[in-house]
Chain A
Amino acid sequence: MSTSANAARQEAPRGGPLSGAGPRRLGLAVLAAAAVAAPFVAPGLQSQMAVLWVMVVLALTWDVVGGQMGYNSFGNIVFFGAGMYASAVVQRALSLNAQETTTAGAGGAEALLAPIQYLGGLGLGLACAALVAVLVALPLGASILRLRGHYFAICTLGLGVAAGEIASAWDWLGAGSGLVTPLFPEALGNRNRFFCFYFLALAGACFAVLKLLYRRRFGLLINAIRDDEDKAEAMGLPTIRAKVVAWSVAAFFLALAGGAYGNFIGFIDPLDIAFSGATFGVWMILMAIMGGRGTLWGPILGAMVFHVTQELFWTFLLGWHRVAMGLLIVVIVTFLPDGILGWVRERRGGAALAEGRRA
Chain B
Amino acid sequence: MNALLEVDRVSKSFGGVAANREISLSVPAGAVHGLIGPNGSGKTTLFNSIVGHHPLDAGSVAFDGTRIERMTVPRIARLGLLRTFQQTRVYGAMSCVENMQVSAPHRTAHGGVLLRRVPAAVTERAEGLLEFVGLAALRHHRAGSLSFGQQKLLEFAMALMFRPKMLLLDEPTAGINPTLINGMIDRLVRANAELGVTLLVIEHNMRVVMNLATHIYCLAHGRLLAAGTPEEVRNDPRVVEAYLGGE
Direct A–B contact in complex, judged by CB atoms less than 8 Å apart: yes
Name A's B-contacting residues (CB within 8 A): 1, 3, 6-7, 9-10, 13, 213, 215-218, 220-221, 223-224, 226-228, 230-239, 241-242, 245, 294, 352-355, 357
Interface-central residue, B99, B117, B131, B162, by most chain A CB under 10 Å? B99
- Interface magnitude class on chain B: 35 or more
6 contacts across the A-B interface (CB closer than 8 A):
A217-B118, A220-B101, A221-B114, A232-B102, A238-B74, A238-B109
Name B's A-contacting residues (CB within 8 A): 51, 73-74, 76-78, 82-83, 85, 89-95, 98-99, 101-103, 105-106, 109, 111, 113-118, 120, 123-124, 127-128, 131, 136, 140-142, 145, 158-159, 162
Seed contacts A245-B111, A354-B141; 17 additional CB < 8 Å A-B pairs: A1-B124, A1-B136, A217-B116, A220-B101, A220-B102, A220-B118, A221-B102, A223-B102, A224-B91, A234-B51, A234-B85, A235-B77, A235-B159, A238-B106, A238-B109, A241-B114, A353-B141
Indicate whether A228 sits within 8 Å of B83 (C-beta atoms), given known contacts A216-B118, A353-B142: no
Hey, which chain B residues are within 8 Å of A241, CB to CB? Answer: 111, 114
Distance in Å: Cβ of B38 to nearest Cβ of chain A: 26
Hey, which chain A residues are within 8 Å of B142, CB to CB? Answer: 352-354
Distance in Å: Cβ of B166 to nearest Cβ of chain A: 13
Chain B: CB-nearest residue to A215: B117
C-alpha gap A220/B143 in the complex (Å): 14
Does B116 lie within 8 Å of A227, measured CB to CB? no
C-alpha gap A7/B158 in the complex (Å): 21
Does B98 lie within 8 Å of A239, measured CB to CB? no
Indicate whether A3 sits within 8 Å of B94 (C-beta atoms), given known contacts A221-B102, A234-B51: no
Hey, which chain B residues are within 8 Å of A9, CB to CB? Answer: 140
Does A218 lie within 8 Å of B115, measured CB to CB? yes
Q: A-side binding surface: helix, strand, loop or mixed?
A: helix
Does B73 lie within 8 Å of A233, measured CB to CB? yes
Hey, which chain A residues are within 8 Å of B99, CB to CB? Answer: 224
Does A354 lie within 8 Å of B74, measured CB to CB? no
Distance in Å: Cβ of B93 to nearest Cβ of chain A: 5
Interface-central residue, A216, A223, A231, A294, by most chain B CB under 10 Å? A231
